[in-house]
């Protein structure tokens, strides 16, 4: 039996760097530091209850809410620390921002500062930790504004508010039956599987692509009463299957771990939706009304619209996954505009997210663009039979 020659993540990064002959190697070193943090998190996840890292709020419910207004799990905090500790030392970073930290993270004065900024959700799907379902880490690399690089000053929120199209790289690690790292450096998407014997991420999925068409969708149907009309229409049509306007049956999945759903879609196509809806916005720091503000009137952009702006975070979840999906030939959108064009208005901003197989995402965008076009060509009565009627 011959042994199959596989590339390591390091070798892949060296190959990619050949496209930029003047590159210093800082970028590659940063990605490898991120990969190291992910390996450490993978170990913590794998030991689970044996090392007491699972479950339970860090302190107590009253004091362990993060800036999102959500309960922090022990592993959220541990994973956040792995990310900061393993990436801050190398002189590559100007600063970091994390879903689990209220403010931007400053590289300590005792360490060198660099030209990149790291943005991450250290543990996505952490509500699944206690039930041993796949979770993951999501990250994105941005270039710091030139003036930050030149001055070496502390980073501030505004430095991170760059549209997703400006991301230099994005990726996620998946802590499932196998540990994987899926990465784009702007030249397609590559997947690596952690070889537990070597402790190395090995290139196993060199050119991940999202099929243009699909018959699988993912949405949290318990929110259906809050959905906007274009989303209801889309889901109704999928559920109607062969006898409905789509003329084919659809399958449905919901893991409640977006990173795992993104991976499934990268592997076999599909569409994921966590759209904005008509619930009141969450009472977290990113959406709290300013004094005297109201939902329809004054205040920052994200509280001007009535309803819930979405559950997922633009900087930590939607943009990195958006870059990966688009690099793999899929599409990512708010439903109304391409995700990567959105100009962020806040570090912890939430947003409606639709991504996956291109033709389905474009269809959902069309439904948002022409909400009045509700007539089914093949069956004009279809709209009357809505499964998720108002």
Ligand X SMILES: O=P(O)(O)OC[C@H]1O[C@](O)(COP(=O)(O)O)[C@@H](O)[C@@H]1O
- List residues binding ligand X (CB under 6 A): 70, 99, 121, 124-127, 220, 256-258, 274, 311
CB of 226 closer than 8 Å to CB of 277: yes
Query: 335 is written with which tokens?
Result: 């439903």
**Measured from the CB atom, is 257 or 333 closer to ligand X?**
257
Residue least distant from Mg ion (Cβ): 124
317 labelled binding-site residue? yes
What sign does the CA torsion over 374, 318, 10, 122 have?
Answer: negative
Residue 220 binds which entry of ligand X, Mg ion, none, with Cβ cut-offs from 5 to 8 Å by kind? Answer: ligand X
Q: Is 171 helix (H, G, I), strand (E, B) or coil?
A: strand
**Where do contacts with Mg ion occur on this chain (CB under 5 A)?**
99, 121, 123-124
Return the half-sphere exposure (C-beta side, CA atoms, 13 A cut-off) of residue 231.
27
Residue with Cβ nearer ligand X (33 or 317): 317
Q: Is 330 annotated as a binding residue?
A: no
Helix axes 26-47, 74-87, angle to 10 degrees: 150
3-state secondary structure (DSSP) of residue 131: helix
**Torsions phi, psi of 13, nearest 5?**
-65, -40
**If 0-12 CB within 10 Å is exposed, 13-18 middle and 19+ buried, where does residue 90 land?**
middle
Helices (H), the chain: 9-17, 26-47, 74-87, 146-151, 157-160, 229-240, 258-268, 319-327, 358-369
Nearest CB to ligand X, comparing residues 20 and 254: 254
CA distance 193 to 178: 7
Six token digits for residue 30: 């940063």
Binding-site partner at residue 232 among ligand X, Mg ion, none, CB < 5 to 8 Å by type: none
Binding-site partner at residue 365 among ligand X, Mg ion, none, CB < 5 to 8 Å by type = none
By residue count, the chain amounts to: 390
Contact 310, 333 (CB under 8 A): no
Q: Report the partner that residue 257 touches, choosing among ligand X, Mg ion, none (CB closer than 5 to 8 A by kind).
A: ligand X
Calculate ∠ Cα 338-313-216, nearest 5°: 60
**Is 365 annotated as contributing to ligand binding?**
no
Residue 70 is assigned to a ligand binding site: no
Least CB distance from residue 246 to ligand X, whole Å? 24
- DSSP for 271-290, written as a single string: EEEE--BSSPPP-STTTPPP
CB of 83 to Mg ion, least distance (A): 11
Q: How far, in whole angstroms, is CA 143 from its chain's centroid?
A: 19
Residue 317 Cβ vs Mg ion, minimum distance, rounded to whole Å: 5
Q: Which residue is nearest to ligand X (CB)?
A: 258
Q: Is 121 annotated as a binding residue?
A: yes
Cα(183)–Cα(187) distance, rounded to whole angstroms?
A: 10
- Minimum CB–partner distance for residue 14 and Mg ion (Å): 31
Closest approach, Cβ 383 to Mg ion, in A, equals 35
Looking at residue 317, the DSSP 8-state letter turns out to be I
CB 173 within 8 A of CB 41: yes
- Closer CB to Mg ion, residue 121 or residue 365? 121
Identity of the residue, 240 or 286, whose beta carbon is nearer to ligand X in the bound complex: 286
Q: Is 127 annotated as a binding residue?
A: yes
Output the smallest distance, CB 126 to ligand X, in A.
4
CA distance 349 to 285: 9
Binding-site partner at residue 70 among ligand X, Mg ion, none, CB < 5 to 8 Å by type: ligand X
- Joined together, the tokens standing for residue 198 give 């070597």
In the complex with Mg ion, which residue's Cβ is closer, 124 or 236? 124
- Residue ranges for the binding site for Mg(2+)? 99, 121, 123-124, 317
Could you tell me which residues are annotated as the binding site? 99, 121, 123-127, 220, 317
Annotated binding site for substrate: 124-127, 220
């Amino acid at each position: 039996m011959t042994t199959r020659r596989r590339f390591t993540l390091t070798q892949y990064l060296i190959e990619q760097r050949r496209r930029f002959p003047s590159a210093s190697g800082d970028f590659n070193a940063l990605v490898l530091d991120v990969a190291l943090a992910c390996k450490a998190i993978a170990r913590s996840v794998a030991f689970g209850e044996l090392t007491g890292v699972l479950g339970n709020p860090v302190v107590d419910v009253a004091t362990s809410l993060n800036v999102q207004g959500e309960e922090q799990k022990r592993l959220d905090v541990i994973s956040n620390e792995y990310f900061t500790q393993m990436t801050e030392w190398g002189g590559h970073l100007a600063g970091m921002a994390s879903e689990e930290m209220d403010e931007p993270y400053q590289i300590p004065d005792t360490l060198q500062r660099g030209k990149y900024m790291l943005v991450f959700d250290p543990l996505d799907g952490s509500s699944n930790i206690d039930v041993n379902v796949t979770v993951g880490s999501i990250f994105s690399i941005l270039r710091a504004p030139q003036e930050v690089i030149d001055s070496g000053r502390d980073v501030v929120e505004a430095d991170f508010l760059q549209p997703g199209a400006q991301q230099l790289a994005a990726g996620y690690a998946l802590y499932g039956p196998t540990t994987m790292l899926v990465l784009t450096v702007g030249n397609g998407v590559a997947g690596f599987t952690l070889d537990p014997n070597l402790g190395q991420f090995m290139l196993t999925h060199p050119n991940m692509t999202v099929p243009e068409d699909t018959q699988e969708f993912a949405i949290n149907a318990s929110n259906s009463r809050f959905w906007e009309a274009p989303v209801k229409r889309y889901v109704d049509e999928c559920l109607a299957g062969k006898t409905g306007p789509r003329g084919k049956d659809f399958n449905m999945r919901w893991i409640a771990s977006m990173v795992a759903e993104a991976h499934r879609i990268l592997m076999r196509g599909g569409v994921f939706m966590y759209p904005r809806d008509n619930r009141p916005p969450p009472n977290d720091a990113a959406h709290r009304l300013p004094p005297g503000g109201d939902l329809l009137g004054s205040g920052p952009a994200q509280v001007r619209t009535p309803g819930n702006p979405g559950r997922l975070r633009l900087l930590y979840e939607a943009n990195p996954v958006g870059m990966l999906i688009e690099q793999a030939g899929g599409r990512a959108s708010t439903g109304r505009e391409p995700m990567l064009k959105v100009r962020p208005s806040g570090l912890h901003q939430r947003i409606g997210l639709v991504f996956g197989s291109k033709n389905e995402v474009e269809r959902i965008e069309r439904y948002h663009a022409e909400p009045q076009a509700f007539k089914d060509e093949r069956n004009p009565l279809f709209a009357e039979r809505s499964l998720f009627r108002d």
